[in-house]
């Protein structure tokens, strides 16, 4: 078994993190993307595995949606975002003939592809592999956690927005983590407050504080509140490097702080 692990495509991956939420559209893919960009900023090599098979967002968020996946001796070559190959991606988005094709699959097919994604992508050496997931606690999640278990993932980052309807679903996701033995690295409250760029008035469009409260209630670390920031959504639309280009923007400090906590948690001294 140890031998199989040593020869596997994930042998060179140091830390595996999952980004989860019971709720849709809370910013899982956004957090996965910005975390990868922040970690690269700190000199790390990062991969993102996108297991959202029906609604993959990662290719567009890096503006590489037209790229193809190629094959090499050891498996599928991920798509590199830059010349230095500091960020590599794998997503079903790269496998579709036409970008608008619907992937109308029931569970078993999804499970098969996820298994293949975990086993057959030639990631090479990575400091972090971030797994972006669809909302929920179903096939994709069970299969991903099962397939990754031998590689001992570091844990999961849970994303929520502040409203009760979202926090409620994330409570269920916490139970999923508990049942599957996945450590919860912390909770992020995203879309927390909006500062008007015209008059600086702060409006809590999606309310405020729910994520922080949940972290307290559940006794898990709170990683921070990321405000609604039009510059962030705009740069994700265009696949730009928000961390590099918008250090003065309102969401930047929180995103940088989240990455720093992940780095601190994985530095040699702390482990």
Ligand X SMILES: Nc1ncnc2c1ncn2[C@@H]1O[C@H](COP(=O)(O)OP(=O)(O)OP(=O)(O)O)[C@@H](O)[C@H]1O
With tokens 């990631």, the residue in question is: 123
- Scanning 72-80, 182-190, 195-203, 246-254 for contacts with Zn ion by CB under 5 A, the matching segment is 195-203
Q: Shortest gap between Cβ of 213 and another protein (angstroms)? A: 13
What tokens appear for 63 in the block?
């503006």
Separation between Cα atoms, residue 226 and residue 31, nearest integer Å = 10
Q: Does 239 bind ligand X (CB under 6 A)?
A: no
Q: Shortest gap between Cβ of 127 and ligand X (angstroms)? A: 22
Q: Residue 148, SS3?
A: helix
The one-character DSSP state at 121 is B
Separation between Cα atoms, residue 237 and residue 29, nearest integer Å = 12
Separation between Cα atoms, residue 46 and residue 123, nearest integer Å = 9
Site for Mg ion in 45-74 (CB under 5 A): 57
Are 254 and 221 contacting, i.e. CB atoms less than 8 angstroms apart?
Answer: no
Q: Which is nearer to another protein, 15 or 210 (CB)?
A: 210
Helices 139-148 and 107-120: angle between axes, nearest 10 degrees? 30
What tokens appear for 216 in the block?
């307290």
Q: Which is nearer to Zn ion, 68 or 201 (CB)?
A: 201
Taking residues 140 to 179 in sequence order and writing x for each that binds ligand X by CB under 6 A, - otherwise, the string is -----------------------x-xx-------------
Taking residues 200 to 239 in sequence order and writing x for each that binds Mg ion by CB under 5 A, - otherwise, the string is ----------------------------------------
Residue 212, H or E segment: helix 210-218
Q: Shortest gap between Cβ of 223 and another protein (angstroms)? A: 20
Site for ligand X in 51-80 (CB under 6 A): 52, 55, 57
Q: Which parts of this chain interact with ligand X (CB under 6 A)?
A: 21, 23-30, 52, 55, 57, 134-135, 163, 165-166, 190-191, 205, 226, 228-229, 232-233, 236, 251
């Amino acid at each position: 078994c140890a031998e199989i692990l040593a020869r596997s495509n994930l042998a060179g991956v140091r830390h595996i993190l999952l980004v989860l939420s019971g709720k849709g559209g809370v910013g899982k893919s956004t957090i996965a993307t910005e975390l990868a960009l922040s970690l690269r900023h700190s000199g790390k090599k990062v991969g993102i595995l996108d297991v959202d098979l029906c609604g993959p967002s990662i290719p567009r968020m890096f503006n590489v949606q037209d790229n193809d996946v190629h094959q090499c001796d050891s498996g599928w070559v991920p798509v590199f975002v830059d010349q230095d190959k500091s960020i590599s991606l794998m997503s079903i988005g790269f496998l579709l003939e036409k970008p608008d094709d619907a992937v109308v699959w029931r569970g078993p097919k999804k499970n098969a592809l996820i298994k293949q994604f975990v086993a057959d992508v030639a990631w090479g050496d990575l400091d972090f592999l971030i797994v972006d997931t669809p909302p929920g606690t179903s096939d994709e999640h069970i299969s991903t956690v099962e397939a990754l278990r031998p590689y001992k993932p570091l844990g999961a980052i849970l994303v929520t927005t502040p409203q009760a309807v979202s926090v409620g679903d994330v409570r269920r996701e916490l139970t999923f983590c508990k049942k599957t033995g996945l450590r919860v690295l912390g909770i992020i409250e995203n879309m927390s407050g909006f500062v008007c760029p015209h008059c600086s008035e702060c409006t809590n469009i999606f309310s405020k504080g729910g994520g922080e409260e949940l972290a307290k209630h559940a006794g898990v670390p709170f990683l921070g509140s990321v405000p609604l920031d039009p510059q962030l959504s705009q740069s994700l639309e265009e696949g730009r490097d928000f961390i590099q280009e918008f250090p003065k923007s309102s969401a930047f400090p929180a995103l940088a702080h989240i990455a720093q906590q992940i780095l601190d948690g994985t530095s040699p001294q702390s482990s």
